[in-house]
Amino acid sequence: MREIKQIQNVYIKSYAAVGSLIEGAGRFSKEYDVILQDPLCAQDSWEKAESVFLKTAIDKALEKSTLSQKDIDVIISGDLINQCTSSTYAVRDSGISYFGVYSACSTICISTIAGALFIESGVGKTALTAASSHFCTAERQYRFPLEYGGQKTPSAQWTATASGALLLTNEPTGIKINSVYIGEVVDYEITDTTNMGAAMAPAAAKTITDYLKKTGKTPGEFDAIFTGDLGNIGTQLLYNLCKLENCDITANHNDCGKMLYDGTNIDCHSGASGCGCSASILCGYVLNRIKNKELNNILFCATGALHSPLITKQGESIPGICHLLNIVSA
C-alpha cells in the first residue's frame, strides 16, 4: 500500500545549484551557486558536458558543507540520458559508493528520498544526492540533434541545462526532511510526446491530493507547494484534476517548469523541464528560502514522464510519476 513515510533523523547540510547562460539570465539568476558560461564546458560532446554540470553541483555542495570526500558514505544520482551516463561519468573518480536512480525529471526527489532512507536506516551518516539535465543532450536523445534545427510545438517544454545536489546528514541542521511519499506510476494514456505536462499532471494530482487526504491537512497549512516540471499546460491540468478531488492548491502553488525561465527572453513554449529544472530550483530558490526561514514547511513534488523515445514509437502511452518531499525548517 502506498503510504507516507515519516523521517526522523535526516537533515540537509548543504546544497548547490548549477545553471548555464539562459538559466542565469532570469528572475532566479542569483539563486544559482555556479553559472557555467560555456554550455559545452570545454568538452568534445554535450554528454560529457552534462557530466561536468553534475560534478560541479556535487563538488559545490561538498565545498559548502565543509566536509570532505572521505566523509561521504554514498552518492545517489540520476539523469535523463541513456544508461544514466551523465551521473556515472561525473562520479567515476570519486571512490565513493554510488548507485544510479531513474525517475526522469523527478530524479532529484527520488535520489534524495533514497539518500534519506540510507541515513534513516542508520547504516550511513552522509549522502550526496543529485540530478542533472542538458538541453543539447536531451534534444539529441528524445527529439533531434541540434544541427537538424527541429521546431517545437507550443505544448513542448525547454530542457534546463542545469544540475542540483544536496548533502544529507543525520546531524541536525536548520533544514529537515520531515516526510517522504514515493510516487506510483500513473498513466492517463497520453501519447503526445510534445506534451509532457499533460502526461505528468495526473501523477502530480494523485500524489498531492493523496498526501493531503492521508495527512488530513489543507494546502494552506504549507507555506508553499512546488511541482516540477509541469509547465503552463501541465499546471492548469493539475489545478483542474485537483478540483475534481475538491482540492484547491492555487493559492500557494508554483511549478518549477513555470518558474525557471521567468524573466528571460527565451521562448520556452510551455515552460522548462528536465531533471535539472526541479533540481536547480530546489537547490537554489527553495532551499535558500527555507534556510532563511522565509519558508518553513513546504511540499516539493517533482514530476517525471517515464517513457522512452522507442516505446512511444511502438504505440505505448506515457506514464507519469510524482515523488513528494516534505521539507521543514528545524
Rule CB under 8 A: which residues touch a second copy? 1-3, 5-7, 44-45, 47-48, 70-74, 78, 80-85, 88-89, 91-104, 110, 113-114, 117-118, 120-124, 180-185, 187, 306-311, 314-316, 319, 321, 323
Three cell numbers written together for 122: 542508520
Q: Considering beta carbons, is residue 109 or 298 the nearer one to a second copy?
A: 109
With H, G, I as helix, E, B as strand and everything else as coil, classify residue 282: helix
Q: How many residues does the chain have?
A: 330
Cβ 105 to a second copy shortest distance, Å = 11
| Single-letter amino acid code for the residue at 120 | E
Of 4 and 21, nearer to a second copy (C-beta) is: 4
Q: Which is nearer to a second copy, 103 or 232 (CB)?
A: 103
Instruction: Give the nearest distance from C-beta 269 to a second copy in angstroms.
Output: 22
Question: Cα(224)–Cα(261) distance, rounded to whole angstroms?
Answer: 19
Label each residue of 2-61 as H, E or C: CCCEECCCCEEEEEEEEECCCHHHCCCHHHCCEECCCCCCCCCCHHHHHHHHHHHHHHHH
Q: Which is nearer to a second copy, 72 or 230 (CB)?
A: 72
Residue with cell 500513473: 186
CA distance 104 to 79: 7
Cβ of residue 299: shortest distance to a second copy, in angstroms? 16
The three-class DSSP label of residue 284 is: helix
Closest CB to a second copy among residues 248, 311: 311
CB of 209 to a second copy, least distance (A): 15
Q: How far is the CB of 215 from a second copy (least distance, A)?
A: 15
| CA separation for the pair 306, 190 (Å, rounded) | 12
- Nearer to a second copy by C-beta: 69 or 292? 69
CB of 118 to a second copy, least distance (A): 5
Distance from C-alpha of 213 to C-alpha of 141, rounded to nearest angstrom: 38
Q: What is the CA radius of gyration of the chain?
A: 18
